């Protein structure tokens, strides 16, 4: 075995990829769990022997995956301080840093802020409801209206002006890398390829620009434009490595090549079977395109699977083989022979009458697995994956009800909560003079005496040149200016405006001290200043008796979160490629806009993960619950929808190492109505790969041998046999079991064990409803 810890535990193909020469292009193709990320991170650690860390760029698509990569690299070379200088992040994160630092070269202000979906919606709402838009609709002949849909009877053109719909269409357009309205015809459906569509698009872009904002698509497009015009800014980059390349869009492929402009040294890894971002315009063909661009690039296949047990892989392979549009080829499925030789346990397929029952089942199983496994399984070993964030809400409630700690990935974030968002908006105003969206959210919160007319006046730009904050100051302190622009303002409101301006400027004074104070103290002082001057804590307490405690707690959590953001922001230590130009407030805002570390780190680490299938990409857990596995409308949305849905389920099932539970409910409550549901058709014909749950038997039949093999696999001490409560004796399935597809499934939750002497036992979960 290799003595170098970076090269230890690699198989031959992985080893070849890791030690391949720096120069050239490499594509590592393989199925889930074959060690693609392991190989990529090992290669980064290996390259650091010869290439300065700051000249290596490693990108992926989700924050969780980026964190995972950084932590794996650290584990490989724990004593190498250079790791902090590596550029490891998401495409969006890495690009944004370049925009902040060099954006002025393409006419962007250095103080740009990311417009998150809430901001986008606010901006679009204002546009579609504006008088100007009404005039334009008339001008372009849209004379009839049904809901939010406008029609032109002459041309028979329609346009849906629902703000969310407009944002989605514009994002679709931009994700192709286009910015000019004449390109609308290439990608947009008719409704936006029209004078009114073009007007809405232009308005939206102008509004972003005026406010110094960029949306997520702009981050990518503008960085592409920046790198095209100024390739010198990446002349230091000696190697670009991208994980999950199958999820790259056309612009991201372009960007990868542009980042590597100086040397052309590119390593990408990917698995076309896991391409799940078609809705964001991901192009799994990008791997082939890259091969075309660099005909000498070397393809390396990894063919051994180290993650999931064979029964899990059998289902996954059975599922994905049916994809009629597979571009991966059989070579990728060869890799589905598992090296995980733990004792086999068949995955469970469970059907329930209601989502409530399903959620109760999941919570009870989680409790059981943790409490009865003699400390072998921890909460952090388990994940609940669902198609959407909404679908897992019932499970979330159930876990909370049972006191099971959890974290939510890709869902509602700590930083999105109203009171927390308000504080963040204050941070944004401190950061930028031109962020009208943040100014309008904070200027009257708490109330400062402005009526709606005054507010509109204050927030409407007087000209293109004056920043919105400067304008506020002119209104506050220059009577002539007020007269010239017709602002009549009451005395108390004028005082309110003065207070607001002083508050922001007070924060800016603290920010100037950042070097002396250190980043975390500086931001904490700014936070204290905001809290003191706004009286926010008192106001929250007075206004919201019900949620008072929680909201106050959230405000307190901001403080601990600030510390965590800076702790995790290692690049701040001594500057990565682009981050040295960010002040501490910008670093915080960047971390927040891109999903940062948010709620995740606010609590203990031993928590169950609840995640959307999309956000679970690249991650793995010993135990996975794939819930809400119903015949979804997306799966029925024609070939493309069905194939994407199949790949999504493939990703979801292959997150599991040891135990897999797939479940669904036969009735759903949607908008107050009960609807029938059934198991996803994608699994039809694969039922025999699952465990059948006969009456009277638990669904978790883990034998002693299994516990021992799991402990060995997880490299944990073998549990004390006496502490283990074996499921078969401890659990019974209620008599009402449903017959399904020729075999019997548990129809309800497992009951609490009767034997009170056994400890730990399953606590009193809400088992009978
Ligand atoms: P995905 O497609 O889901 O992202 P992946 O191909 O990136 O999967 P990894 O996450 O890198 O796979 O690896 C899966 C698991 O297998 C990890 O726990 C990793 O540590 C382990 N693993 C990978 N290669 C080896 C090896 N040669 N020996 C032992 N374990 C390995
Ligand atoms: Mg991976």
Ligand nearest to the backbone CA of 620: 1
pLDDT in tens, 44-67: 999 999 999 999 999 998 888 888
The mean per-residue pLDDT over the stretch 465-471 comes to 92
Task: Indicate if the pLDDT at residue 413 is higher than 70.
Answer: no
Q: Rounded to an integer, what distance in angstroms lies between the CA atom of residue 572 and that of residue 567?
A: 9
Expressed in angstroms, the distance from the first to the final Cα of the chain is 56
Helical H segments across 727-768, by residue range: 727-730
The mean per-residue pLDDT over the stretch 206-229 comes to 93
Looking from the CA of residue 306, the nearest atom of ligand 1 is: 16
Instruction: Give the rounded percent of residues in the chain with a pLDDT score beyond 70.
Output: 82
Looking from the CA of residue 655, the nearest atom of ligand 1 is: 3
Show Cβ contacts of residue 47 under 8 Å, excluding neighbours closer than 6 positions.
22, 56, 239
Q: Where is 138: in which H helix or E strand?
A: helix 131-139
Residue 277 and residue 644 in contact, taking contact as beta carbons nearer than 8 Å: no
* pLDDT score recorded for residue 181: 83
Nearest to 380 by CA among 417, 406, 347: 406
Same domain (yes/no): 606, 473: no
Ligand 1 pocket: which of 29, 307, 341, 617 to mutate (most atoms within 8 A of CB): 307
* pLDDT score recorded for residue 699: 57
Looking from the CA of residue 11, the nearest atom of ligand 1 is: 27
* Max avg pLDDT among 386-390, 540-544, 564-568: 386-390
Whether 91 is covered by a domain: the verdict is yes
Whose Cα sits closest to atom 27 in ligand 1?
10
Residue 696 binned pLDDT confidence (cut-offs 50, 70, 90): very low
Q: Measured in angstroms, how far is the CA atom of residue 36 from the centroid of ligand 2?
A: 5
Nearest to 99 by CA among 114, 78, 79: 114
Whether 761 is covered by a domain: the verdict is no
Ligand nearest to the backbone CA of 41: 1
Binding residues for ATP: 30-37
Residue 619 binned pLDDT confidence (cut-offs 50, 70, 90): very high
CATH no. for residue 270?
A: 3.40.50.300
Total domains present in the chain: 4
Show Cβ contacts of residue 67 under 8 Å, excluding neighbours closer than 6 positions.
597
Residue 91 binned pLDDT confidence (cut-offs 50, 70, 90): very high
Nearest to 578 by CA among 108, 87, 170: 87
Same domain (yes/no): 91, 226: yes
Q: What is the CA radius of gyration of the chain?
A: 28
Looking from the CA of residue 32, the nearest atom of ligand 1 is: 2
Ligand nearest to the backbone CA of 33: 1
What's the whole-number average pLDDT of the chain? 83
Of 549, 570, 593, at which residue does a domain stop?
A: 593
Whether 4 is covered by a domain: the verdict is no
Same domain (yes/no): 642, 707: yes
Q: Measured in angstroms, how far is the CA atom of residue 32 from the centroid of ligand 1?
A: 8
Whether 753 is covered by a domain: the verdict is no
Q: Rounded to an integer, what distance in angstroms lies between the CA atom of residue 581 and that of residue 593?
A: 18
Whose Cα sits closest to atom 11 in ligand 1?
35
- For 102, 122, 205, 231, the CA distances from 175, given in Å and listed in that order, are 22, 21, 14, 22
Query: Any idea what DSSP says for residue 618?
Result: T
Binding residues: 30-37
* pLDDT score recorded for residue 130: 93
Of 257, 276, 303, at which residue does a domain stop?
A: 303
Q: Measured in angstroms, how far is the CA atom of residue 85 from the centroid of ligand 1?
A: 25
Ligand 1 pocket: which of 38, 44, 62, 320 to mutate (most atoms within 8 A of CB): 38
Residue 22 and residue 48 in contact, taking contact as beta carbons nearer than 8 Å: no
Helical H segments across 569-682, by residue range: 584-593, 638-653
Residue 573 binned pLDDT confidence (cut-offs 50, 70, 90): very low
Q: Measured in angstroms, how far is the CA atom of residue 351 from the centroid of ligand 2?
A: 31
Q: Where is 554: in which H helix or E strand?
A: helix 548-568
Residue 600 binned pLDDT confidence (cut-offs 50, 70, 90): very low
CA torsion, ordered 243, 249, 251, 257, to nearest 10 deg: 30
Give 733 or 404, the one with higher predicted confidence. 404
The mean per-residue pLDDT over the stretch 577-605 comes to 60
Whether 146 is covered by a domain: the verdict is yes
Whose Cα sits closest to atom 16 in ligand 1?
306
Q: Rounded to an integer, what distance in angstroms lies between the CA atom of residue 616 and that of residue 603?
A: 20
Q: Measured in angstroms, how far is the CA atom of residue 35 from the centroid of ligand 1?
A: 3
Residue 741 binned pLDDT confidence (cut-offs 50, 70, 90): very low
Whose Cα sits closest to atom 28 in ligand 1?
9
Residue 507 binned pLDDT confidence (cut-offs 50, 70, 90): very high
Residue 280 binned pLDDT confidence (cut-offs 50, 70, 90): low
CA torsion, ordered 311, 314, 320, 321, to nearest 10 deg: -170
pLDDT in tens, 320-365: 888 777 766 776 776 567 888 888 788 999 999 888 899 999 999 9
Stretch among 48-62, 69-83, 536-550 having the lowest mean pLDDT? 536-550
Which residues does residue 240 pair with via DSSP β-bridges, in sequence order? 57, 266
The mean per-residue pLDDT over the stretch 643-647 comes to 88
Angle 536-543/519-534 helices, nearest 10 degrees? Answer: 50
Looking from the CA of residue 30, the nearest atom of ligand 1 is: 6
The mean per-residue pLDDT over the stretch 269-298 comes to 85
Neighbours of ion ligand 2 (CB under 5 A): 36-37, 618
Same domain (yes/no): 465, 575: yes
* pLDDT score recorded for residue 188: 66
Whether 406 is covered by a domain: the verdict is yes
Beta strands 382-386; 338-340: pairing state:
unpaired
Residue 414 binned pLDDT confidence (cut-offs 50, 70, 90): low
Ligand 1 pocket: which of 2, 18, 33 to mutate (most atoms within 8 A of CB): 33
Whether 62 is covered by a domain: the verdict is yes
Same domain (yes/no): 141, 239: no
Same domain (yes/no): 168, 33: no
Classify 281 as helix, strand or coil. Answer: coil
Beta strands 608-612; 621-626: pairing state:
unpaired
Ligand nearest to the backbone CA of 622: 1
The mean per-residue pLDDT over the stretch 441-452 comes to 91
Helix, strand counts (H, E) of the chain? 30, 22
The mean per-residue pLDDT over the stretch 123-146 comes to 92
Q: Rounded to an integer, what distance in angstroms lies between the CA atom of residue 517 and that of residue 584?
A: 11
Stretch among 343-347, 467-471, 530-534 having the lowest mean pLDDT? 343-347
Task: Indicate if the pLDDT at residue 190 is higher than 80.
Answer: no
- For 152, 187, 540, 567, the CA distances from 264, given in Å and listed in that order, are 51, 30, 55, 34
Whose Cα sits closest to atom 30 in ligand 1?
306
Task: Indicate if the pLDDT at residue 759 is higher than 50.
Answer: no
Residue 628 binned pLDDT confidence (cut-offs 50, 70, 90): very high
Looking from the CA of residue 72, the nearest atom of ligand 1 is: 20
Whose Cα sits closest to atom 4 in ligand 1?
618
Q: Measured in angstroms, how far is the CA atom of residue 336 from the centroid of ligand 2?
A: 15
Task: Indicate if the pLDDT at residue 597 is higher than 60.
Answer: no
Looking from the CA of residue 41, the nearest atom of ligand 1 is: 11
Ligand 1 pocket: which of 306, 615, 619 to mutate (most atoms within 8 A of CB): 306
Show Cβ contacts of residue 171 under 8 Å, excluding neighbours closer than 6 positions.
215, 216, 217
Whose Cα sits closest to atom 19 in ligand 1?
35
* pLDDT score recorded for residue 599: 41
Of 569, 593, 617, at which residue does a domain stop?
A: 593
Residue 426 and residue 536 in contact, taking contact as beta carbons nearer than 8 Å: no
Q: Measured in angstroms, how far is the CA atom of residue 34 from the centroid of ligand 2?
A: 8
The binding-site residues of ligand 1, defined as CB within 6 angstroms of any ligand atom, are: 9-11, 14, 30, 32-38, 271, 274, 306-307, 618, 620
Same domain (yes/no): 432, 401: no
Residue 503 and residue 534 in contact, taking contact as beta carbons nearer than 8 Å: yes
Show Cβ contacts of residue 283 under 8 Å, excluding neighbours closer than 6 positions.
248, 249, 250, 253, 289
Q: Measured in angstroms, how far is the CA atom of residue 60 from the centroid of ligand 2?
A: 10
Q: Rounded to an integer, what distance in angstroms lies between the CA atom of residue 557 and that of residue 565?
A: 12
Residue 736 binned pLDDT confidence (cut-offs 50, 70, 90): very low
Task: Indicate if the pLDDT at residue 11 is higher than 80.
Answer: yes
Q: Rounded to an integer, what distance in angstroms lies between the CA atom of residue 723 and that of residue 376?
A: 10
Q: Measured in angstroms, how far is the CA atom of residue 43 from the centroid of ligand 2?
A: 14
* pLDDT score recorded for residue 415: 67
Domain with 389 in it = 311-412+602-745
* pLDDT score recorded for residue 140: 93
Stretch among 671-685, 696-710, 738-752 having the lowest mean pLDDT? 738-752
Same domain (yes/no): 289, 393: no
Nearest to 659 by CA among 630, 702, 611, 704: 702
Residue 222 and residue 214 in contact, taking contact as beta carbons nearer than 8 Å: yes
Q: Measured in angstroms, how far is the CA atom of residue 708 from the centroid of ligand 1?
A: 22
Whose Cα sits closest to atom 1 in ligand 1?
32
CATH no. for residue 496?
A: 1.10.486.10
Same domain (yes/no): 316, 291: no
Backbone angles phi, psi at 107, to 5 degrees: 85, 10
DSSP string, 471-505: HHHHHHH-HHHHHHTT----HHHHHHHHHHHHHHH
Same domain (yes/no): 485, 560: yes
* pLDDT score recorded for residue 542: 66
Residue 385 and residue 612 in contact, taking contact as beta carbons nearer than 8 Å: yes
Ligand nearest to the backbone CA of 272: 1
Q: Measured in angstroms, how far is the CA atom of residue 37 from the centroid of ligand 1?
A: 7
Task: Indicate if the pLDDT at residue 760 is higher than 60.
Answer: no
Stretch among 4-13, 582-591, 628-637 having the lowest mean pLDDT? 628-637
Whether 766 is covered by a domain: the verdict is no
Ligand 1 pocket: which of 9, 35, 270, 328 to mutate (most atoms within 8 A of CB): 35
Same domain (yes/no): 262, 331: no
* pLDDT score recorded for residue 747: 31
Q: Rounded to an integer, what distance in angstroms lies between the CA atom of residue 604 and that of residue 591?
A: 20
Q: Measured in angstroms, how far is the CA atom of residue 307 from the centroid of ligand 1?
A: 6
Whose Cα sits closest to atom 14 in ligand 1?
33
Same domain (yes/no): 241, 373: no
Cβ count near 60 (within 10 Å): 28
Query: Any idea what DSSP says for residue 381?
Result: G
DSSP string, 181-223: GGGHHHHS-TTTSSHHHHHHHHHHHHHHHHTTEE-HHHHHHHH
């Amino acid at each position: 075995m290799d003595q170098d810890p970076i090269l230890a535990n690699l198989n031959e193909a992985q080893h070849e990829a890791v030690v391949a020469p720096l120069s050239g292009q490499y594509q590592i193709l393989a199925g889930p769990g074959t060690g693609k990320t392991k190989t990529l991170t090992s290669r980064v650690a290996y390259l650091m022997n010869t290439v300065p860390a700051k000249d290596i760029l490693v990108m992926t698509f989700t924050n969780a995956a980026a964190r995972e990569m950084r932590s794996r690299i650290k584990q490989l070379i724990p004593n190498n301080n250079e790791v902090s200088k590596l550029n490891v992040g998401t495409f969006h994160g890495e690009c944004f840093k370049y925009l902040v630092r060099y954006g002025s070269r393409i006419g962007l202000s250095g103080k740009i802020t990311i417009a998150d979906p809430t901001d986008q919606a606010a901006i679009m709402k204002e546009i579609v409801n504006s008088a100007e838009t009404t005039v334009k609709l008339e001008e372009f002949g849209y004379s009839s209206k049904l809901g939010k849909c406008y029609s032109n009877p002459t041309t028979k053109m329609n346009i849906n002006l629902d703000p969310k719909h407009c944002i989605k269409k514009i994002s679709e357009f931009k994700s192709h890398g286009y910015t000019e309205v004449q390109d609308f015809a290439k990608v947009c459906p008719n409704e936006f390829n029209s004078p009114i569509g073009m007007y809405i698009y232009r308005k939206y872009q102008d509004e972003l620009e005026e406010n110094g904002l960029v949306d997520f698509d702009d981050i990518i497009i503008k960085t592409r434009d920046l790198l095209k015009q100024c390739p010198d800014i990446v002349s230091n980059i000696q190697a670009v490595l991208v994980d999950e390349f199958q999820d790259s869009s056309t612009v991201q492929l372009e960007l990868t090549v542009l980042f590597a402009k100086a040397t052309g040294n590119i390593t990408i890894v990917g698995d076309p079977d896991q391409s799940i971002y078609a809705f964001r315009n991901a192009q799994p063909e990008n791997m082939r395109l890259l091969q075309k661009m660099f005909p000498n690039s070397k393809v390396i296949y990894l063919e051994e699977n180290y993650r999931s047990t064979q029964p899990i892989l059998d289902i996954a392979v059975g599922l994905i083989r049916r994809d009629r549009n597979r571009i991966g080829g059989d070579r990728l499925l060869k890799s589905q022979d598992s090296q995980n030789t733990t004792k086999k346990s068949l995955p469970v397929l469970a059907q329930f009458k209601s989502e409530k029952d399903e959620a109760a089942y999941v919570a009870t199983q989680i409790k059981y697995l943790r409490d009865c496994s003699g400390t072998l399984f921890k909460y952090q070993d388990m994940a609940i994956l669902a198609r959407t964030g909404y679908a897992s809400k019932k499970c979330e409630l159930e876990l909370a009800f049972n006191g099971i700690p959890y974290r939510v990935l890709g869902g509602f974030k700590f930083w999105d909560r109203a009171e927390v968002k308000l504080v963040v908006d204050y941070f944004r105003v401190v950061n930028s003079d031109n962020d009208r969206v943040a100014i309008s959210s904070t200027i009257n919160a708490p109330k400062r005496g402005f009526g709606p007319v005054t507010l509109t006046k204050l927030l409407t730009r007087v000209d293109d040149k004056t920043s919105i904050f400067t304008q506020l100051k002119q209104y506050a302190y220059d009577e002539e200016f007020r007269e010239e622009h017709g602002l009549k303002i009451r005395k108390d409101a004028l005082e309110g405006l003065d207070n607001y301006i002083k508050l922001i400027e007070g924060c800016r004074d603290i920010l100037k001290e950042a070097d002396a104070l250190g980043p975390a103290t500086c931001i904490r002082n700014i936070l204290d200043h905001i809290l003191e001057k706004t009286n926010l804590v008192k106001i929250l307490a007075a206004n919201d008796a019900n949620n008072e405690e929680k909201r106050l707690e959230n405000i307190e959590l901001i403080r601990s979160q600030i510390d965590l953001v800076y702790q995790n922001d290692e690049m701040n230590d001594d500057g990565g490629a682009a981050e040295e130009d960010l002040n501490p407030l910008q670093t915080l805002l960047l971390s927040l806009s891109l999903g940062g570390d948010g709620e995740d780190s606010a609590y203990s680490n031993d928590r169950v993960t609840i995640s959307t299938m999309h956000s679970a990409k690249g991650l793995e857990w010993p135990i996975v619950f794939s819930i809400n596995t119903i015949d979804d409308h997306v799966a029925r949305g024609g070939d493309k929808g069905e194939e994407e849905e199949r790949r999504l389920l493939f990703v979801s099932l292959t997150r599991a190492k040891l135990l897999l539970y797939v479940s669904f409910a036969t009735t759903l409550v949607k908008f107050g109505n009960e609807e029938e549901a059934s198991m996803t058709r994608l699994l039809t014909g694969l039922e025999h790969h699952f465990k059948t749950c006969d009456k009277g038997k638990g669904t978790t039949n883990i034998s002693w041998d299994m516990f021992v093999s799991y402990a060995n696999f997880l490299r944990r001490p073998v549990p004390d046999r006496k502490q283990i409560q074996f499921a078969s004796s401890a659990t019974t399935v209620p008599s009402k079991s449903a017959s399904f597809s020729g075999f019997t499934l548990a129809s309800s939750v497992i009951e609490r064990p009767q034997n009170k002497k056994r400890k730990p036992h399953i606590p009193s979960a809400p088992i009978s409803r």
